[in-house]
Structure 1
Amino acid sequence: MFERFDLSMSAIEALRIVRSYMRNDASLSVEQAAQIARKLEANGVDYPAAATLDMMVPFASVDVEDAVAFYRSCVEIAVLSNPIWMKIIPLGRQKFVQKLDRDAASCFRCARLLDEPPSDEVVDWWDRLQSMGRRLADQARLEQGREAERLSLLHEEARLKALGISRSPRWMSIEDNTVGYDILSYDPGAIEPVARLIEVKSFRKSGRFFLSRNEWETAKKFGDVYSFHIWDVDSKQLSLKSVDEVNRSIPTDNPGGQWDVAVIDVNVKVS
């Protein structure tokens, strides 16, 4: 990813002016071109910001004579450099623009990215950036989930050792993603250890986790041998919940339809 920078038309236009001088004289540095531009061009653009932007926008990427294409290239790098923007861009153009301040929205407008109706080229631009945002979100969720599963493996290794069980937990979501649980561990049995099936969930700050209907149906099928590990991955705090405990927070179907995904608050006690 790129270093984040504040998006403004004064910085983008300053860079376009500077690049035009550098294109005509390859010996000029950004600073030298900016000095010339200050003397010969209109005021009101941000040349210091242009120097920062210059390090992020590839010199040969867009012809500076095509102002709209140049603006669009700078806007794209601004989006890619901003984790918050990358998180919200999959919500759609209107939702995304509502989150922008006036300066940033002006850049999108000058780049013709807010045209109505949007051209095919503009639609392709938004589709491509939204797809990248979704991939990043999916990757972030995967990494958070894997971190929580590693914490559960360590927890179960210590628990089994304390119980005197000589077996090791298995990371089933890596081995077989169709079994319906993430960790295979064990509890003491009358003769030998019995299976403990663990579904791992995680959150950051929210105190809530998501449970799909399919996951819940699997949990009900296995019953008492199934349990939930819910990790606050920032504090490394674990909440343990049985199927019965989670059942108290499961929504009820109604004549209007069935629930698909339940949002469950870890700390809520439902009687």
Structure 2
Amino acid sequence: MTLPLSPGLAQAGIALLELLQRHAMTAPNLVAGLPKVGGMPASAALSLAEVLGWLDITDAGLLQASTAGLKVQGAADYEAALRCILLQYVDAQKPDWLQNATYGRSRVLSFCPVGVWQVFVEAGLAGPPTSDVVDFWDLLARIARGLQQDHLLIIGREGERLTLAYEEARTGLKPQWVAIDSNQDGYDVLSVVSAENRAFLSIEVKTSRTGIGGALHLTRHEWEIAVERSAHVFHLWDLAAASPRLASASMDAMAKHIPADTGAGGWEMVEVPFAAFTSLFGSIEL
């Protein structure tokens, strides 16, 4: 049975660790002598500590913080402690809502229990996508995927960050990092056509560390979304050189490489070599 998590329970667990740092005691003495810890029943705080592996027992039967518990105690602040607790919780409990992390944080925040949602909020993980927030959600997604395709996610984020910086320099406006909230929208970044034209421009980002010898993979969903958009481009980032190179491919340029459906079948994904866009690549100063 999954242990319900909430800010109150997390705070009680942190208080328990602090208490044991000051006063050594056994588990029975803890429950009998202190009905509550951090505003919660001592038994609940003890259950959380046991589930997350925070406690070791000495030869004398006394409770002390384990390596996992010391990691929570050593967190820089409350938000950092909650983030540590969340990662330990999903690793230990494998809750059903964790699978949503592969689709972006909005799916997790929509489907996780209210108590867990509150922990995410208090941990500062539901706000602006600062680098540490993005890193946390990427790590959660990697845990959900069982660390599969980890390197592809890291490379993809590099390209998305470059596009964000490039678009802000080009337009003078801060673009929206769509992919951090959901990878189901069919594009990664939402910018504008130009500083003068504020019409939305959606951007799908593809990144390669092997230069023009690499290739991009475009799904049917991504292409169908692109066709529906009033203004859409593809940013292809070549990270093989000392300085990143960008090719901004238009819909017309990409359409030349989109296969046609044949018979009753339909294409689902197409691989397009970066070399097909060689003439478009140029070094970028950010």
Interval containing the TM-score (normalised by the shorter chain):
0.3 to 0.5
Task: Give the TM-score normalised by the residue count of structure 2.
Answer: 0.42
**With structure 1 as the length reference, what TM-score do the two structures score?**
0.44
The higher radius of gyration belongs to 1
